[in-house]
């Protein structure tokens, strides 16, 4: 390949050392100033929860779903914020996720939303985690273990209503009720279901049918002498667009973090007779510029030489890559913010680094703060923008943010 040399780009006026150090970071505390970090806005989180309190009847409880490292926000950070904000329930996927936050729950009940394996039964009982039971043979072993320990323990039963993920069929309900009445140490805390088709449509007929199936199942439990103290069904989208799903508790994942479950959910709230929550993103992600260099017209950038300068340019190297959760699909199409302006990602995203075009942003200095997700001046890079560039959903973008990234709670 012929890497032509041309005149180097005319450098924008460099800032003096004072001007550079005066480009103030968003907040004061920096544990890892040369790499990257996530900031979590505690006020935004509180406001999101409050917003849902205003949408629901006063008796409706809230579960903070903190599975998957709190959708990448940081399970420990979000759990402590949720407990401080007075959340009623926490939701994790598995036993290990409980162990990660167990010292922070402040005695608030924690429901495990994923499947229970028999190998984990003893620890689940010892830690007081409320499992979701949906297999009768596991439930039988669970009850035997509770009896052996002489330990009472709460459980949740998930009902199959049409999603065909976890859940028991209605034919099984009598057998489950017998198991419960024969094992008084096993206490039914809740029965619930999860909707299949609520985010991707404005037609709620499938969800309505699932809700009906849940209510029918709940009645059968009651008739057979096992009234569940809590019946619940709503994830974020259902909580927003279908008030009849609120029942005893809403399970808030994505919307608690200030992100809309989908475009359809957001658009539904714009209809004249609807009212939606005011959502504010909790997470922002920042880094600092690691190197600045000039590029001559004709020179290439990055692996595969996918980018070639058509003019003299100035580029900056950032110490962030797909290992950190900056999706490789953003190669050549993402944006970051530098000095309040959008800087395009050029070339391929590497494992730990990426390159951006700062040709048209004057005065950029080494170690300047860069916004990967969040706002700077009048510009914002939203998780939704990155998700749409990656042809995926916001859930995937945040939940894949690396655990190694420092997370700072910003409380005003």
Residue numbers of the site for ligand PLP (CB under 6 A)?
65, 67, 113, 194, 235-237, 251-255, 261
Residue 218 has which token pair?
């709940």
Query: Which whole-number Å values give the CA distances from 134 to 64, 110, 114, 177, 213, in the listed order?
Result: 22, 17, 10, 13, 16
In the complex, least distance from residue 246 CB atom to ligand PLP, rounded to whole angstroms = 13
The nearest distance, CB 129 to ligand PLP, in angstroms, is: 15
> Which of 46/251 has CB closer to ligand PLP?
251
CA-to-CA distance for 258 and 91, rounded, in angstroms? 17
Sign of the CA dihedral running 125, 131, 136, 138: negative
Whether 387 contacts 393, CB under 8 Å: yes
Minimal distance in Å, beta carbon 66 to ligand PLP?
10
Least distance from ligand PLP to the Cβ atom of residue 338, Å: 31
Residue in the shown chain whose Cβ atom is closest to ligand PLP: 253
Catalytic residues: 67, 303
Q: How far apart are CA 143 and CA 109, in angstroms?
A: 19
Find the shortest distance in angstroms from Cβ 67 to ligand PLP. Answer: 6
Q: How far is the CB of 70 from ligand PLP (least distance, A)?
A: 11
Q: Whole-angstrom Cα distance, residue 323 to residue 103?
A: 29
Residue 162 or 253: the one with the smaller Cβ distance to ligand PLP is 253
């Amino acid at each position: 390949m012929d890497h032509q040399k041309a005149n180097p780009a005319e450098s924008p006026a460099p800032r003096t050392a004072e001007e550079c150090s005066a480009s103030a970071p968003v907040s004061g505390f920096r544990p890892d100033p040369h790499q990257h970090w996530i900031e979590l806005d505690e006020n935004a989180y509180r406001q999101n929860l409050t917003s849902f309190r205003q949408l629901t009847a006063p008796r409706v409880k809230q579960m903070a779903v903190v599975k998957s490292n709190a959708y990448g926000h940081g399970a420990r950070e979000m759990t402590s914020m949720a407990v401080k904000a007075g959340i009623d329930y926490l939701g994790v996927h598995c036993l290990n996720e409980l162990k990660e936050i167990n010292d922070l729950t402040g005695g608030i009940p924690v429901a495990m939303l994923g499947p229970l394996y028999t190998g984990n039964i003893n620890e689940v009982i010892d830690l007081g985690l409320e499992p979701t039971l949906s297999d009768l043979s596991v439930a039988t072993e669970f009850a035997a273990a509770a009896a052996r320990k002489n330990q009472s323990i709460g459980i949740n039963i998930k009902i199959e209503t049409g999603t065909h993920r976890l859940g028991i069929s209605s034919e099984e309900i009598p057998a489950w009720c017998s198991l419960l009445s024969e094992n008084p140490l096993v206490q039914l805390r809740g029965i619930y279901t999860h909707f299949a088709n609520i985010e991707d449509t404005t037609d709620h007929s499938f969800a309505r049918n699932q809700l009906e199936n849940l209510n029918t199942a709940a009645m059968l439990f009651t008739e057979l002498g096992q009234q569940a103290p809590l019946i619940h069904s709503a994830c974020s989208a259902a909580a927003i667009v279908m008030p009849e799903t609120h029942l005893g508790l809403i399970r808030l994942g994505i919307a608690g973090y200030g992100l809309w479950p989908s475009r359809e959910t957001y658009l539904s709230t714009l209809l004249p007779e609807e009212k939606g929550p005011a959502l504010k993103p909790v997470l922002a992600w920042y880094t600092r510029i690691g190197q600045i260099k000039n590029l001559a017209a004709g020179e290439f950038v990055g692996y595969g030489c996918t980018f070639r300068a058509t003019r003299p340019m100035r580029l900056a190297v950032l110490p962030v890559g797909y290992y950190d959760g900056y999706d490789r699909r953003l190669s050549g199409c993402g944006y970051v913010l530098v000095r309040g302006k959008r800087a395009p990602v050029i070339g391929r995203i590497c494992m730990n680094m990426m390159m951006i075009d700062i040709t048209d942003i004057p005065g950029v200095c080494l170690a300047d703060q860069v916004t990967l997700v969040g706002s700077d001046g009048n510009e914002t890079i939203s998780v939704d923008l990155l998700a749409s560039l990656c042809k995926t959903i916001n859930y995937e973008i945040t939940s894949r943010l690396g655990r190694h990234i420092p997370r700072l709670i910003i409380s005003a």
